[in-house]
Structure 1
Amino acid sequence: MTRDLSRLIRPKSIAVVGGGTWCAEVIRQTEKIGFDGAIWPVHSKSSDVAGHKAYPSIDALPAPPDATFIGINRRATIPVVQELAAAGAGGAVCFASGFSEAIAEDASGNDLQADLVAAAGDMPILGPNCYGLINALDGAAIWPDQHGCARVESGVAILTQSSNIAINLTNQQRGVPIAYVATCGNMAQLNQADIASAVLDDPRVTALGLHIEGFTNLRAWEALAAKAHAKGIPVVVLKVGASAEAQAATVSHTASLAGSDAGAAALITRLGFARVHDLPVFLETLKLLHLSGPLSAPTIASISCSGGEASLMADTALNSGLTFPPLRDEQRTQLADALGPMVALANPLDYHTYIWRDAEAMAKAWSAMMTKDIGLTLSVVDYPPENRADWDCATDAAIKAHKTTGRPITVVASLPELLPPDVTQTLIDGGVVPMHGLREAIIAAAATTEITSPETTPLALAPAEPSKRPQLLTEHEAKTALAAHGLDTPRSVSVTDTGTLTEAAKSLTPPLVLKGQGIAHKTEAGAVKLHLSAADLPAAAADMPTDRFLIEEMINDGLAELLVGITRDPAHGFVLTIAAGGTLTEVLSDSVSLLIPASHETIRDALSSLKIAPLLTGYRGAPPANITAILQAIDALQAYVLANLDSLQEAEINPLICTPTRAVAADALIRKDMS
């Protein structure tokens, strides 16, 4: 169900139910931010709350309120929500705790949360267990505590499940104009994607920042990604926590490689969002997106008056995905004209201090660096606490260079505290991005290059309930099942009688491989023997801890070995892991995770990102692997999983032996519900 949140997030009237300190603070904050609509306290025993006439009940209000803050206990909250819904109110913030988040202490919490959702019906509710929302564009703060928001004409929207983090973010001193803040609490009815979608309907929102503890309703996230892309609104995600479900499967190498966060990372990438990992970078990325937008290319230029700062900038950008293009001849000419003969010209540029205080010459030099192929130019300036007048030239030069070239530039302080609020605002007014910290600036700039168009094919979703009776198929059973979907496997024979091994192998071409069946990690158990003839098989089988065997023809012309596995992750769908395969999978730690269904283009990009990618494309004169065959093998695995969504726990090919002509599954594992 799609609910209309417009009245809740852009209210003309606000009701406040309750008479405690929290409710009085909501009224104070609403007045403080300049709300010009009606404020209606609701209190059964008081005639006045915080200087406003109080009404004894919901039905006594002059009209159904657009937004309501419910600041009473959890059990009393439910009938009030029901009254508001029946009256046609626009929505409510449910402040009380003690619902599903408290189930460990009170088993009735889940039932109360279900009752709350039922009482709300079609009326949107935030929470429970949340502070609410702030609209700094129109001046509405349905918010029971202090905050740092001020009225803005446009800005970024920030959504978080944590009320305390929301307070901290609103009090930032980095010059980020915040248009909306919303806390989601338990998300009993509305999840973050629903709220974010409503916020994006406001054309004054320039970027969206999401602090996410966990994803729910993946279809809503897909819809949000499509909407944000269509509107040209970039999205930044700070994902914390880990999905325990993603670690449920522990039999395969895939599970240990994927870990708890692989599904979330793959989902964020698939949605076309940028991901960051801490609050300072989160804010700096949002600020860069608001003032300048994503980098047009992953290229940067750096300007500083110190060789130490130039080196520090170069080192900070190392492995970030950003590069420093070398200067072209025309740039060298322009820089030499502005800086004179004593400056070594390079990118990063140490311009020394010969032109310090000459804002015109500085701007000329900056402009020479800000060519169309540069995604962002960074001028490193730390402003001292005293005698700052001598540093005005750096501010003026950056602003003039931006106006001259029309290209994005940031003034970045190597120490965040050395970029004062007044300078920050001056730079913003001049179209220059002020950034606090070299590391923060580099990571934020790199993050914006991750913003892409979302995948349009819907995710394959895992069932809500986990499999009750997962069982491990034998390698022969797994390969047979996967071969039915097009997987290339070695010619083989399954044997259950050691006395018939030699006879059974006569149809196969040596060298042969003998494998014991019914063992998860066969190599560690000594249940794999290579380079055998038919006559060698009985002796090789004697040492194996099983009486079931698989005899296969060896694949001798392999160029590289891959692991390709898919694990069930109820939080994010099904995680496809592609990695360096064979016995050194964990040692090499060379893997990438996607969500299925994954396209050939996405899989090709994943393959090229692996450290062993050169082995696939022809290394030191060796022929290249057959990439088409590799894609077909991965297609076969995906096809099997898509046909078994309700029962599959995990499926893995390791190794997938990549040859010049084939991609052959030398081993395979499937764990699924056999009921």
Structure 2
Amino acid sequence: MSGPHALPDLSRLVRPESVVIVGASDKPGGLGTRTVHNLLRASDFDGRTFLVNPRRDEIDGHPCHPDIESLPIAPDVAVIAIPAPGVLDALERCAAKGIAFAIVLTSGFGEVGDEGRAQQERMRRIAADTGMRIYGPNCPGLTNLADRIGMTFSPAFADDKRTGPIGIATQGGGLGRNLVQAAERGAGAALWASLGNAADLDVADFVHHMAGDDGITVIATLLEGVRDGARLMAAFGAAAEAGKPVVALKVGRSEYGVRAIQSHTAALAGSAAVNSAVFAQYGVVEVDDTDELMDVAWLLARAAPPPRTRVAVFGGSGGAAAMAADMVGAAGLELAVFEPATTAALREALPDFAAVGNPVDITAASISEPGLMDRTLGLVAADPNVDLVLLPIPLDYGAHSARGSEVMAAVQKQTATPLLPVWMSDRRGPGFQVLADAGFCSPRSLDKAVLAVRRWADHGRWRAESRAPEPLLLAPSTTEPLPPVRTEPEAKAWLAGAGIAVPEGKVAATADEARTAARELGGRLVLKVVSPDLPHKSDIGGVLVGVEGPDAAAAAWEQIVAAASPHGSVEGVLVERMAPDGVEMLVGVHRDPVYGHLITVGLGGVHVELFGDVQRRLLPLDPQTAREMVDGLRSRPLLDGLRGAPPHDVDALVDLLLAVSDLVTKHAADIGELDLNPVRVLPSGVIVLDALVVP
């Protein structure tokens, strides 16, 4: 990918052959001291390491250089661990030396006020002008767990022993470290990038890198803000193309969260609804907290989800098994139906009082007969109708629980069907550690476990049915000039020219013209003020409906003009024939400052604000995506006809979405907002009753 949204090759940053620490120190507790310790002592880095400190000849047995210029080579990476006032000068010197990447650990930039933001902007310009890519500032550094290279000041790095196939990309350091430490319950990571203020390199760059990293199968990301929507979408697209799921937690879904983000990283939070729509369209699995983030990432790393997910529940507590089965049903998941051979084998292996359907309850008899689980768990996992086995563990029975955990680990080695143990007890006995050491990331509760399975199953269905879109934001261009669309009649004329149905109507400049229009149109009428200044006409008395006859139309014209004139210029009154009854929907497009144009469809009229029943997608649309939008509405049954009402023309609504998508695609640079509300869906066809276009 080239251009302003280019995603760089980060191989030399993630796996450098040489590193310099600028600000290396041996002062106890210092930033530079911890960074030196992590790279020289706690890492397995076998490349060349250089230290820069003009006041030391050597640190920890390694010689120090007085400045960057005196280094014998240009290292791949410079780790900057000096106070903020000297950082920009150090970066310029690194760039002049030919260093490819700089990691700025120092804080005191965009997160601290106007002066800090100005300094951070200078940092961004250094990257843009010199080509040296900058990671940070205000970050804990970069942690390559798979190769054990810690370019970080984190005092916890020495304890990062367990690795795995998950790549972690975050903006914040504390929550990122929380995700890394999920390794304590089995979710090992290969790489953790914590970008801090992300003056130059951002989360998107590392999502893209991880999409191409053979050691990473699932990407977990925690986003506080999104500055470059095109770059992030390109990274998501690369991950989708590589078949690597992305699991995301987006902070900033409430006003309080947005404020906290702005004070923390000065990042653009964006609209939560828009972020969620973009994530869903790219198959990004959105989650609600850090536990769920790692539960889902681990499960996706354990096994690729099938298009249809059938769950078996297996355990030794009847109550826990029943509760798990109930939660599976409440989550909209499917309990597997065992093959008769499986049921017969379970009945033969288990006591008469055990439950051999689904859920399977091997009962407390497993305490006195430890072999019960050995003989039966593998049978359940091997059943061809089972896609996942949920194993609730409500209590810790010490050695007995450890034995059960060992059986789970042994069975998992023999089957591709993922086993999901759920450690529900507050007591973490040896059984918990057995599971963690075997690579099981046990959820902390049944509801979290079932939610993780729900996310896993949803992603499997997305993989089977969907494909990543080509977002309009990446290529905004206008291929045709936009005609005048200042007023509703002009907007409707533009729509009609594109084959979109609008009511028959005429603009009346006088009451007499309204009388004439009513006579020509006939029937019941709607009259609306025509004004470029009054987009919300009904709020000021600018709309009258159910008007019948020429004289009534003339009187309505007088009433509307009198009501609207104090609020803005009036160019006349639109006289339209009333449309037949139908279901009122909303179709709208807006240009998001981060992601570009998105289209919305939902229940329209006054109901849109009351129920908030909408679906959003990036433009442009294709027929499959347009139909998915309509089918995803909670109000979809209204279109099929309720209580004897006739079915309405869903195909025509889908066609309208596609027509609007085409129109906006042709005029992307000129359209900021397009609001069609209401759109009346009829038993045959659709008709746009009101239209507003905002440049």
Q: State TM-score, norm by structure 2.
A: 0.85
- Counterpart of 1:580? 603
2:96 pairs, out of 86, 91, 103, with 86
Aligned-residue offset at 1:91: 1.5
How far apart, CA to CA, are the structure 2 residues paired with 1:204 and 1:649?
Answer: 42
Q: 2:19 aligns with which of 14, 25, 37?
A: 14
Number of the residue aligned with 1:128: 137
Is contact 2:166–2:217 with CA below 8 Å preserved after alignment?
Answer: yes
SS in 1 for 2:624: helix
**1:382 touches 1:418 (CA, 8 Å); kept in 2?**
no
Identify the residue that residue 323 of structure 1 maps to in structure 2.
334
Alignment of 1:234-633 (within 5 A): 234-241=245-252, 260-294=271-305, 297-317=308-328, 320-327=331-338, 329-344=340-355, 346-370=357-381, 371-384=383-396, 388-403=398-413, 405-415=415-425, 417-419=426-428, 423-424=431-432, 426-427=434-435, 434-451=442-459, 452=463, 454-460=467-473, 473-518=486-531, 519-535=534-550, 536-541=552-557, 543-544=559-560, 545-546=563-564, 548-558=572-582, 560-633=583-656
Structure 1 pair 159–432 and aligned structure 2 pair: CA distance change class (3 A): closer
Deviation (angstroms), 1:302 = 2.0
Where structure 1 has 5 or more consecutive residues not aligned to the other structure, the ranges are 248-258, 465-470
Q: Bigger shift: 172-181 or 297-306?
A: 297-306
Please tell me the residue identity of whatever aligns with 2:544.
K
Distance 1:108 1:524, change over 3 A: closer
Shift of 1:343: 4.0
Letter matched to residue 337 of structure 1: E
Structure 2 residue 681 is the aligned partner of structure 1 residue 658: yes
CA-to-aligned-CA distance 1:543-574 (integer Å, 9 cap, x gap): 5423642222222242x221111112111112
Structure 1 counterpart SS, 2:499 = coil
Cα displacement (A) at 1:388: 0.4
The CA deviation at 1:160 is: 0.8
Counterpart in the other structure of 1:177:
188
Q: Is 1:514–1:530's contact at 8 Å kept on the other side of the alignment? A: yes
Higher mean C-alpha deviation, range 35-44 or range 349-358: 349-358
Q: SS at 2:108's partner residue?
A: coil
Partner of 1:24: 33
Aligned partner of 1:4 in structure 2 is 9
Change in 2 beyond 3 A, CA 1:166/1:355: closer
Look up the match of 1:40.
Answer: 50
User: Which residue does 1:67 correspond to in 2?
Assistant: 77
Matched, 1:637 2:660: yes
Alpha-carbon distance in 1 for matches of 2:500, 2:141: 52
Q: 1:656 to 1:69 in 2, by over 3 A?
A: same
| Shift in alpha-carbon separation, 1:28–1:298, aligned structure 2, 3 A | same
In structure 2, do the counterparts of structure 1 residues 530 and 180 end up closer, same or farther at CA, with 3 Å as the change threshold? same
Q: Which amino acid aligns with 1:479?
A: K
- Shift of the 301–166 alpha-carbon distance from structure 1 to 2, 3 Å rule, reads same
Cα distance change of structure 1 residues 69 and 400 upon mapping to structure 2, 3 Å threshold: closer
* SS of residue in 2 equivalent to 1:568: strand
Partner of 1:669: 692
Q: CA deviation at 1:25?
A: 0.3
SS class of match (1:236): strand
C-alpha separation in 2, matches of 1:447 and 1:329: 30
* Amino acid of the structure 1 residue aligned with 2:487: T
The letter for the 2-side match of 1:407 is T
Superposition TM-score, scaled by structure 1 size: 0.87
1:632 shift after superposition:
2.1
For the Cα contact (< 8 Å) 1:399–1:430, is it kept in 2? yes
Give the aligned partner of residue 52 of structure 1: 62
RMSD: 3.0
Which residue of structure 1 aligns with residue 203 of structure 2? 192
Higher relative contact order (CA 8 A, sep 6+): 1
User: Are residues 77 and 321 of structure 1, via their aligned partners in 2, closer, same or farther at CA, if it must alter by over 3 Å?
Assistant: farther
Report if aligned partners of 2:185, 2:440 keep a CA contact under 8 Å in 1.
no
The structure-2 alpha-carbon separation of the partners of 1:188 and 1:631, relative to structure 1 and needing over 3 Å to count, comes to same
Please tell me the residue identity of whatever aligns with 2:53: H
Query: Is the CA contact 2:526–2:578 (under 8 Å) kept in the aligned structure 1?
Result: yes
Deviation at residue 79 of structure 1 after TM alignment = 3.0
Matches within 5 A, 1:112-151: 112-118=122-128, 121-148=130-157, 150-151=160-161
Sequence identity (%): 29
Helix, strand or coil at the partner of 1:512: strand
Shift of 1:328: 5.2
Give the whole-Å Cα distance in 1 for the aligned partners of 2:556 and 2:350.
77
Partner of residue 265, structure 2: none
Whether the 8 Å CA contact 2:587–2:657 is kept in 1: the answer is yes
For residue 179 of structure 2, what is the amino acid of its counterpart?
A: L
C-alpha offsets along residues 585-616 of structure 1, whole Å, 9 cap, x if unaligned? 22222111111112221121121111221222
CA contact 1:226–1:454 (8 Å) conserved in 2: no
Comparing 575-584 and 162-171, the one that deviates more = 162-171
Assess if the C-alpha contact under 8 Å between 1:133 and 1:182 holds in 2.
yes
Give the corresponding residue for 2:266: none
Distance across 1 between alignment mates of 2:274 and 2:651: 26
Counterpart amino acid of 2:334? T
Residues 452-478 of structure 1: per-residue CA shift (max 9 Å, x gap): 3642423335989xxxxxx99432222
Alignment match, 1:253? none
Whether the 8 Å CA contact 2:314–2:391 is kept in 1: the answer is yes
Shift, 1:491, TM fit: 1.0
Q: Distance in 1 between matches of 2:67 and 2:88?
A: 14
TM-superposition CA deviations, 1:205-262 (whole Å, max 9, x none): 2211111122233333343234323433221111112599xx9xxxxxxxxxxx9212
Closer, same or farther in 2 for the Cα pair 1:334/1:499, shift >3 Å? farther
Partner secondary structure for residue 178 of structure 2: helix
Q: 2: distance between equivalents of 1:621 and 1:567? A: 36
